Amino acid sequence: MKTRNVTIFSGHHFEVPQSIQRIDHRATHGWQLRYGGTKLFSDHTNDGSGAADALRLATKELLKRIAVLPAPSLLQPKPSVSKTNNLPVGISGPIVRQRRGSQLRDCSLAVLIPRFGQKPQRRSIYIGTENTYTPARFQTALARAIEMRREAEEAYERDTTRDKRAQARAHRKVLKEAGLV
Determine which helix (DSSP H) or strand (DSSP E) holds 122, and give its type and residue range.
Answer: strand 121-129
pLDDT bucket at 83, cuts 50 / 70 / 90: confident
Q: Report the C-alpha gap between 22 and 41 in whole angstroms.
A: 10
pLDDT of residue 25: 86
157 membership: H or E segment, kind and range: helix 135-177
pTM score of the predicted model: 0.79
Give the pLDDT band (50/70/90) at residue 99.
Answer: confident
Which pLDDT belongs to residue 39?
Answer: 95
What pLDDT is recorded for position 63? 93
